[in-house]
Amino acid sequence: MLKIGVVTISDRASAGIYEDKSGKEIEKFLKENIENEFEIIYRLIPDEFDKIVKTLKELVQKKCSLILTTGGTGPAKRDVTPEATREVIQKELPGFGELMRIHSLKYVPTSILARGIGGVVDNTFILNLPGNPKAIRENLEAVWAAIPYTIDLIGGDYIESKTAFRPRKK
């Protein structure tokens, strides 16, 4: 069965100060856009480099074909998600971060500060999303069409989605 990791990276949400709405937004988007059965493996962790690296590696070991992180992508001192992701991935796919930033500029001028990246490790694609639920949806809508095919190319589990782009077979 297709496994997807959803990792919310937030000091305050992980401490129980407020509810994790970001992880729920990712889950909602996935349920709206994936047609085959899938399992979500959810984690809620603080903005700590070592904890992020450990969690990403754990989800890769659990054979998640896709890992979506939320939070920790800004310029603040504790925002270390992209650095932790680079520690785990084998290949960075810069187009994902570039497109998300360009797309987000339509809505918020400060999206230029976003540092989320996408990359591959083994048969897993990891994508960093912002922490704001509205921005999560906007970013996923911008890049979703390419995600299932990316996972095809790296040998991950098949994602059936009406909004996915796959080149025609010759």
Average pLDDT over residues 2-21: 96
8 A C-beta contact, residue 96 and residue 118: yes
In a domain, 161, yes or no: no
In a domain, 166, yes or no: no
In a domain, 170, yes or no: no
Distinct helix (H) and strand (E) counts, the chain: 7, 6
* Residue numbers of the domain that contains 31: 2-153
Asked if the model's pLDDT at residue 170 lies above 80, the reply is no
Quickly state the pLDDT bin for 169 (edges 50, 70, 90): confident
Give the global pTM.
0.97
In a domain, 163, yes or no: no
Q: Which pLDDT tens digit goes with each residue over 50-80?
A: 999 999 999 999 999 999 999 999 999 999 9
67 forms bridges with which residues in the sheet?
5, 126
Cα 10 to chain centroid, rounded? 14
Instruction: Round to whole Å and give the CA distance between 57 and 38.
Output: 20
> Tokens in use for 152?
């095809």
Number of domains composing the chain: 1
CATH number (domain holding residue 34): 3.40.980.10
Share above pLDDT 90 across residues of the chain, in percent, rounded to a whole number: 98
